[in-house]
Amino acid sequence: MPAKRKAADLPTEEKKMWGGRFTGKVDPVMEAFNSSIGEDKVLWKVDLEGSRGYSHALERAKVLTKEEGKAIRAGLEQVGAEWATGTFEIKEADEDIHMANERRLTELAGAPGGKIHTARSRNDQVATDVRLWLRAEGHEQLALLAGLLTVCSERARAEVDALMPGYTHLQRAQPIRWAHWVMAHCSSFRRDAERLTQAIARANVMPLGSGALAGNPFAINREALAKDLGFSAPMSNSLDGVTDRDFILEFSSWATMLMVHLSKFAEDLIVFGTAEFGFISYADAYSTGSSLMPQKKNPDALELLRGKCARVIGNHTTLLTMMKGLPTAYNKDMQEDKRALFDTAATTRAALQIAAGVLSTLTISRERMRAALSPPLLATDLSDYLVRKGMPFREAHHVVGSAVKLAEEKRCEISELELADYRKLSALFDKDVAEVWDYDLAAERRDETGGTSKRAVLEQVSRMEAFIKAEMPL
């Protein structure tokens, strides 16, 4: 039986950077099970960024000479160029992006490359990489959110005069402006922008220098290192530095809430686009046809926004379940965070663009919207009429309910009752009751902040425009 080869005798591509105390070969199934390079290779740029910053820290600690630091940074530039041009070759022993980059750096820079991992663990390295990646990703998503908010504001301002029914329980309720509906969703998206901004700020602290769990034994000056890498500060506890994944959970939670908002937005537009409503029509760019029925124009973009919401919720559940009950410090379970995180980020990135595209290209039918208005939507206005004449609201509500019943008995609209009919119910009714049945006036009466009057809606738009200009990246 042939003797087992020692790790030192193995070809370079078969060596493991953690393999000094191991002599046996790893089961190939375990090899694939353990590897994350397929998912985390997207971190190549931030991994190199972290290593560049750490090389300066090691110079400060006199672990590296200036010449060694320069050689390492020159090697890192070459590694980055290979990734950028698609020529980087992943080897069998490259379990993850960190090992792949370090292996290639050592091939290019020689002995100095072997010093870059001094007092650094993959535990603090991966936590740093993901924070760097998430910081950049978060700003990209904010820019996409700014685009959606801008489309909402522009659409609302341009179409502020269009009236439509507002709905509760999917039943016609009161007249509102189409722009009021747009700004309702825009308000949700603004909160999403505010939450993401806060999440980015909380993620922007540095784990690097935490080591495997106990901290760094060299004078690397973590405050200076944090500044070099654009972090607000180093994390204050090394155990927390390698354990914490709150920043991933918070981004995932943000994404889940965003997708719920987009799903609700999509559902409204799907309903509004049915033949039964006919309030809107979709652009061809965001619709598909039927393989059987040539007349069909399906809102697939909106239906996929609904469907992909479930996907992001599933990813969030995966992350929460993964972190539940782990013992403190790094555990290999945490490797599974990246697949869910990257998929969620890609999904929300696309969803924001699709939502903005659908809204910016759809066409509204002012005629169908107004035709859907009917006198029963003004029943509350009839109650308000009586309240303005001194009747308590509860009594007015009862009187108007009797008027609704009377109109049903006479098989007419409530607005078609005679003045004599109204006066049988209350002596407060007079000729001016006819003014109640004007849909535009009904909307204009809702003129308080947040209401559906033209002034109030345009005020919402102006405030949103100011927020976008002051707070959002464009």
Q: What is the largest CA-CA distance in the chain?
A: 111
Active-site pick, 290, 291, 360, 383? 290
430 phi, psi to nearest 5 deg: -145, -175
Q: Are strands 280-281 and 363-364 parallel, antiparallel or unpaired?
A: antiparallel
The residues near 433 (Cβ < 8 Å, ≥ 6 apart) are 382, 385, 419, 422
State how far the Cα of 450 lies from the Cα of 464, in Å rounded to an integer: 12
Residue 437 is given by DSSP the state G
State how far the Cα of 138 lies from the Cα of 129, in Å rounded to an integer: 14
Q: 255, 140 in Cβ contact below 8 A?
A: no
Q: Which residue is associated with the tokens 């603004």?
A: 190
169 carries an active-site annotation: yes
Q: If you write DSSP's letter for every residue of 203-247 in order, what string do you get?
A: H-EE-TT-TTTT--SS---HHHHHHHTT-SEE-S-HHHHHH--HH
State how far the Cα of 74 lies from the Cα of 108, in Å rounded to an integer: 9
Instruction: Give whole-number Cα distances, 297 to 251, 286, 290, 291, in Å.
Output: 35, 10, 7, 11
The tokens for 180 are 């009021």
The tokens for 335 are 């490797």
State how far the Cα of 264 lies from the Cα of 154, in Å rounded to an integer: 20
The tokens for 225 are 């290192």
SS3 for 281?
A: strand
The tokens for 332 are 């290999």
Active-site pick, 169, 365, 415, 453? 169
Q: Which residue is associated with the tokens 């009057």?
A: 453
User: Side-chain half-sphere of 426: how many Cα atoms within 13 Å?
Assistant: 23
Instruction: Give whole-number Cα distances, 387 to 46, 145, 190, 428, in Å.
Output: 65, 43, 36, 10
398 carries an active-site annotation: no
State how far the Cα of 266 lies from the Cα of 355, in Å rounded to an integer: 8
Q: What residues act catalytically?
A: 169, 290
